Structure formats: C-alpha cells, structure tokens
Amino acid sequence: MQTLLKAACSLCLAACLSSLSLQATADIFVSSEKDHQILQMDPEGKPIRTIRTCQRPRHMAWAQGGQQIMVACGDSNQIGVVDVQAGKLIDTVPSGDSPEIFSLSPDGKTAYVSIEEDSQMAAYDLASKKPLFSVKTGAEPEGVLASADGKFVYVTSEAANTVYAVDVATRKLAGQVKVGMRPRRFALSPDGSELWVTNELGASVSIIDTRAMKVKQTLPFQLQGMRASDITPVGMLMTPDGKTVWVALGRANHVAEVDVATRTVRRVVLVGKRAWGVALCKEGSRLYVANGMSDDMTLINTENGKALKTVPVGRVPHTILAN
C-alpha cells in the first residue's frame, strides 16, 4: 500500500510540476488566420503547442484574469473562448458577420465587437451570449477600444476616416472626429486623456483629445528611401507608463518607437513582411511583432531597439498576446 501511495504521490507531483512549468513558459500566444489555431510559445519563441479554434482566428484578448483567451473568429461569426491551462476551445459566443476586432468591458462581462458587414459596433453579454445593443458607425468599422472606466467605447471607420465615441450608459454616439485615411487601431493613454489611432493609408497617427473629441496632433512617419504609400501603420500599443508608443508600420516592414512627450520617433526596427500585430511582455523588455505576409514573428529587445530573432508562427499571424 505504501508503495502504491508513493507512486501516486510521485505521479501527482510530476503532473503539478508539469503544469507549473507550462504556466511559467507559455507566455506568448499568436493567432494564425489560415491555420484556424492559436500557437502557444515560450518567451524565446519556441513552440509549445497549438490550440484549435473556430474558423479564422484574428483579434485576441485576455479574460478571467489570464485564465482564458477570447478570440474573434471571422469565418465562424463567433467569439471563441479558450481555456489557457487546458489549451483548448471550451465555448463560443455568436456574433455578427466577420468579427475582427473587439474589446472587453473592464469587468469582463461585455464584448464590444466591430461588425464590418453591418457598419456597426455591437455589444454582447458574455454570460447569456445575447446581444445587448448596437450602434451604427461609418462603413467598415474595425478598431474597437473600451475606456478603462468603462464609460466609452471608441470605434474606427476605415471608409469614413472617422473615430466614433459610444456612450455605454445611453447606448448612443457621444461624439465623432475625422482623422487620417483608413484609421485602424487604438492606444489609450493611462489617464484616458489621449486616444492614439493609426491611419493606415495616411502613414500617420492621429492623437485625439478624448474630452473635446478633437485631433490635437498628427504624427507622420517617414522612412528613408520609401514612399508614404509604402508606410501603412496598423497595430499599436502604449507602454503602461504612458511614455512610449510602438507602432507597426505594415508594408514598410518596420516598427517605430515613438516618444510620447516629444512626439518624435526615437528609432525604427526592421522586422518581417507586413508588420501589423504588436505585444509587449509584462516587464517591458521584449516586443513581439506579427508579420502577416512572411508568416513569422520578430522578437525585439526594447532596451537597445535590436531585433533578436524571427521565428515562424503559422500562416497569416494576426494578433499576439504576451504576459
């Protein structure tokens, strides 16, 4: 009996250690549109496992304190729910046609989804899986971002070159502002006073005063030897301290590091083809860049601005999550 108990304890300990090891190393998740899966990797870009999802996974977001990943599946018209520890899809939430970008409310109970086919932002209750409300926007809405206080949701319209602010309490538009050509994604300052938006066909970023809903400044990007039409910013993030913004420059195959205080580009880093998605590790030392046309991910040392390596991540990587 003692021998059996010891064996059982050893097996239990091994399983626990394996689980802890997986949790410690499984820090990077990349959605692969054409493979219908999420690739799980360690911080150095070494593959750990693949997670099957609904069809054409695109944007992702942490949920349940990092225990789950929500993922927009464009060809399934669903928001998938992935259990991180189990490494599998455990649930889905029906959405409108072809969801791409969404944002979760601060309490994690509501998903705000851009529905391109219907030119609207739709809100869904995640517990009941029922639609709550929708608000019309300009054509081809894409970027969606909920404010930290949960009062507003911002939405881009690629065709109207406009950013919309939706009042969550009234479920109506609270304001709108014209920005550059084909606005795509957002970054919000820590105090919520500035909303940055990438203009893909404007080779620029517009900075919006959220209180006045007016553009206070536009930052153009220039790269030596490249035409403006080759510089197509899409993915973007702001560091938690609000001092730096990283912008993926799309067809320019670079990312730009922007100093928020001076509104200037500190440096640019060469990455893969069509850099769109960006993610920062928790301590801020590594930037991960999804290169959609070269099917890989570039790891960047943020301290010296050097690309460390580029690793394959499936077909058409879209979004990266890092913790």
pLDDT digits (tens, 9 = 90+) for 3-15: 444 444 444 444 4
Number of H helices, E strands in the chain: 1, 28
Is the pLDDT reported for residue 16 higher than 90? Answer: no
What would the mean pLDDT of 232-237 be, rounded to a whole number?
Answer: 98
Condensed to tens digits (0 to 9), the pLDDT of residues 122-164 reads 999 999 999 999 999 999 999 999 999 999 999 999 999 999 9
User: Cβ(284)–Cβ(307) under 8 Å?
Assistant: no
Among 283, 276, 111, which residue's Cα sits nearest to residue 200? 276
Is the pLDDT reported for residue 18 higher than 80? Answer: no
Q: pLDDT at position 10, please?
A: 46
Position 199, amino acid: N
Which pTM does this prediction carry?
A: 0.91
Q: Give Dmax (Cα) for the chain.
A: 76
Condensed to tens digits (0 to 9), the pLDDT of residues 46-75 reads 999 999 999 999 999 999 999 999 999 999
Neighbouring-strand partners of residue 219: 205
Condensed to tens digits (0 to 9), the pLDDT of residues 90-108 reads 999 999 999 999 999 999 9
Lateral strand order in the sheet of 244-248? 236-238, 244-248, 254-259, 264-270
Is the pLDDT reported for residue 21 higher than 80? Answer: no
Condensed to tens digits (0 to 9), the pLDDT of residues 168-183 reads 999 999 999 999 999 9
Cα(320)–Cα(215) distance, integer angstroms = 29
* Dihedral in degrees, nearest 10, Cα atoms 279, 282, 285, 289: -10
H or E stretch covering 24: helix 2-25
